[in-house]
Chain A
């Protein structure tokens, strides 16, 4: 008789098609109902924080792109911001706008990849290809601009490595003209789909209290009814000069997380448009020539930058110690989103796991660092 009521322990990951990398979830199943969940991380631990201690400030710069490989610009900006504050380096306006432009395009690329894989997790294969098609256009732009598709290493202390050529500006303008129609297409195929809605509506509800308790940030928090966007609340770069909207939703389920992200695609396009019009009209010298990053020598000081990455608050803390960082600490959004997973999964069905986990947009390299 006892055997009848025994629960089954099942190991999802670390090699599983939909754990987006190498997350391992130990699930306890009662039939198809999840009774408990324990995330196990660390399969992608590369010791990125330890690496900083043996390198100079500049040598560490290419490594930070690898923390969240879908949002490389956010990582390098968070790190550059720290060093610029510590070494008191000014960044010219044009470089700031270029940074914002790159970061917002990167946000669109990241959200597109999320949308595609999320739909793939739910069993719809076509949206993945549409999303990748558009993401590919952004990656082509990045490749032309920086020489790399994912690990850009484009930002540097005091600005960006090279000026943005005018033909790339034209490419971006064409892209942002086409994009709203594509997003509408996605919405037509996804948002009104009754199966999608039934799988996402009121699934994995993250209450406002829980979201704050678990330190969730970014779109996941905004979907839970807290209108917190670090671009608005603690503006960095030129975000206080830009006009954009932040969307929030109150229900906190997978569907509202989806809606918030779709809205962010639109608002990012808007920001890109404004950046382009500024860059076109500006003739600023884009990089402060007096900076020699190789020679940086910063006395004991500490600074923490806060960046709104596609997956929430990304902060980089640099404790300077002379010629190389004494300690670098990264705070990433996914790290805390993984932690809240057990809370959301209790008494959900196994099929809900994908809707809930997918909607949190977790990137594992960011968790393991």
Chain B
């Protein structure tokens, strides 16, 4: 980041703009990049999801707008933005408009925490993994507010379900994050990724010592994301559309955007913790070989790291969509039982096991 910042300062110094101003405006530029990338990713993601579901159900999926339907989500987005913003009379006006924003903004922040390459993390603090876990829960407040303020019984039930779900699945997530950070001896996501570097290529990834942790985090993420089979808050067959029943147009689009963005961000987080994040699976970078270690190689590596990160994250996303194509929905009481009776004990066991593992590795000096 400092590297980028120095380039940035130099660039503006050419125009006679003082350093202090550059320090202030510097975060705006990456934010715009992040926002644009996020929306782009969501557009792709929605299309990918529809195509994958179509694949699983032997259909074609969207195939009219653009080549093979690649512009379908763009058309959908334009439609959503042009739609009338219907607001029922009896809503709590302020909360009703605030809820989609609260549900969406934290996702952007989470997105900023994820380091997409070794130099490209915007919010780099020492406890970034904990920060991620904390901020990732905030959208639920938006969901609860949405359910409460729409003055609709279906929305209310949906939002209460969502709250219950997040509370019960937050604990296993925390335990998994802690066990991974014990393995990496750090709470910073970038450090966690870098500590997965190993001379045996992929063998350094934490999926191998901590497979159970991966499963727990994957399942809990499904619950946090309200994805099938934990999509109770918006179970369309029970609650019409759950917490966003009364929303339309732009506000609905924000919920929708937030949900899909969070889907990708969570996958990225899982990738960072267990699949070596931006590390190449071959143990070396291809651009390193191509450009023979000149200046281009350094930039090439950044892009390649981002490429690996996206590829791995999309594989996780594919896994999540696969689950959606196959499984029916859980019941809310089963969901709670599953969390408190199975996932939480398992995650504690996993934590203890990881502690012992780390201790033995340290004593043996294996790493």
Contacts and interface: CB of A to CB of B under 8 A. Distances in A.
- A–B contact at 8 Å CB threshold (below): yes
A274 to B, nearest CB: 31
Given A123-B229, A126-B57, A129-B59, A18 B331 contact: no
B238 A351 contact: yes
Given A16-B240, A123-B235, A354-B237, A195 B329 contact: yes
Interface in B159-209: none
Nearest to A122: B328
B109 interface: no
Interface string A312-338: 000000000000000000000000000
Nearest to A189: B326
A8 interface: yes
B332 A123 contact: no
B367 to A, nearest CB: 39
Given A8-B153, A130-B57, A350-B157, A198 B327 contact: no
Contacts of A193: 327-328
B59 A120 contact: no
A123 B240 contact: no
A206 interface: no
B231 interface: yes
14 contacts: A8-B153, A120-B237, A121-B237, A122-B237, A123-B327, A124-B327, A124-B329, A195-B327, A195-B329, A195-B330, A195-B334, A349-B331, A351-B235, A351-B331
Contact of B332 (A32, A124, A353): A32
B137 interface: no
B237 A198 contact: no
Contacts of A349: 331-333
A10 interface: yes
B43 interface: no
A122 B235 CA distance: 9
Q: How large is the interface on A (under 10, 10 to 19, 20 to 34, 35 or more residues)?
A: 20 to 34
Contact of B325 (A122, A126, A351, A352): A126
Interface of B: 53, 56-59, 153-154, 157, 228-229, 231-232, 235-238, 240, 324-334
| Most chain B C-beta atoms within 10 Å of own C-beta, residue among A10, A29, A189, A195 | A195
A59 interface: no
Contacts of B56: 126
Contact of B328 (A8, A10, A18, A196): A196
A353 B328 contact: no
B247 to A, nearest CB: 17
B237 A124 contact: no
Interface string A41-52: 000000000000
B237 A18 contact: yes
A341 B324 CA distance: 30
A16 B235 CA distance: 12
